[in-house]
Structure 1
Amino acid sequence: MSTKSEKTTTATGDLEDEVLESLQALVFSLKGQLRHSLGEQPLALAPMELRALQFFVRHPGASQRDLVQHSGRDKAQIARLIKSLLDSGHLQASPDPEDRRSQRLSPTPSGLALHGQLHQARRQALARSLTGLDAGELGQLLGLLKRLRSNLVAPTPPA
């Protein structure tokens, strides 16, 4: 015979599983919609490269160290991403006037064009997914998503 707390735990566990499955399905659907919005053409960059490019579009003149701090990724991974973006012509580097060891990175016209294309496709996919939600629901959704993310990035308390 099960107790009430066991039933609650099972019900909560089932609900948590359903939340996880729904989040995964949402991400999968958004990626599919994004591919559809782009006309099934392959993206010129890998997802992490696109996120790095997006960072430099929003923060032109930032440094590699700025991206490391922002992303939480290791220096070697960021160095490879930046090298790839420089080699592909989507980023350009200029010397940092305050620190000769550092470079300031900015998107090139081709980087801006690629970012614009992706941004438009993302906006279309997002608009479709948010259809029917009012401003209050959007605010509530944003608050919940921020809480979920902060739970994952916050240090884990000792056991």
Structure 2
Amino acid sequence: MTERSPTGETLHRLLHAYKRAMRDGYAEAGIERTVGEIRVLKGIARNRHGTAQHIADRMRQDKGRIARLIKRLVADGLVVRQPHPDDSRSQQLELTAAGRDLADRIAAVEARAGTRMAGGLSEADLARFTELAEAMIANLEHSQDNAS
């Protein structure tokens, strides 16, 4: 019988509860986008004038997959491509007015879910949770980088 990790199980349950809250929040807000599209849209909002490669690197995803997601967002009028001033092979990505509006709506849904999740916890508890979660992420990423 394999040994269970209580920490892993707790994180698994937290992730699923958060994902469920996000899906419900997006549905209530009328946001009908895939998780990938939402993540790319948020990445563009965070990194003004970024490129598909920047988004792919940050998300640790294949650039081809990111390019397909960006293509859908461009086709739907949420993102525009601009020539990169320093690299003629690259294009900068920017949100359109409709893309900024959607990014704002997504941020509002996430803020509500975060508030619900943190209900009743002190600022110190939240700061410690963030510190611990960042350390765990670094541990996992470090062990993955060493395995490569």
TM-score bracket for the superposition, by shorter chain length: 0.7 to 0.9
Q: Are 1:113 and 2:124 matched, yes or no?
A: no
SS of the equivalent of 2:90 reads strand
Q: CA deviation at 1:103?
A: 0.7
C-alpha distance in structure 2 between counterparts of 1:84 and 1:113, whole Å: 17
CA contact (8 A) 1:95 1:104 kept: yes
SS of the equivalent of 1:100 reads coil
Q: Are 1:85 and 2:41 matched, yes or no?
A: no
What do you get for the CA RMSD once the two structures are aligned? 2.0
Residue among 30, 40, 52 paired with 2:18:
30
Q: CA deviation at 1:19?
A: 2.3
- One-letter identity of the residue aligned with 1:151: N
SS of the equivalent of 1:44 reads coil
Q: Deviations over 1:130-155 (max 9, x none)?
A: 11211221111001111111122114
Which residue in the other structure is 1:68 paired with? 56
Question: What is the total number of aligned residue pairs between the two structures?
Answer: 145
**Structure ID, larger Rg:** 1
Residue among 70, 79, 82 paired with 1:94:
82
**Off by >3 Å, runs of 4+ in structure 1:** 35-43, 155-158
C-alpha distance in structure 2 between counterparts of 1:57 and 1:147, whole Å: 26
Q: CA deviation at 1:20?
A: 2.2
Q: After superposition, where does 1:1-159 map in structure 2 within 5 Å?
A: 13-14=3-4, 16=5, 18-38=6-26, 40=28, 43-156=31-144, 157=146
Unaligned runs of 5+ residues in structure 1 are 1-9
Once the two structures are aligned, what percentage of the paired residues are identical?
Answer: 27
- Answer with 149-158 or 72-81: which moved more: 149-158
- Answer with 140-149 or 65-74: which moved more: 65-74
- One-letter identity of the residue aligned with 1:86: V
Q: CA deviation at 1:46?
A: 0.9
- One-letter identity of the residue aligned with 2:59: S
Which residue in the other structure is 1:4 paired with? none
Give TM-score scaled by structure 1 length.
0.80
- One-letter identity of the residue aligned with 1:106: E
Unaligned runs of 5+ residues in structure 2 are none
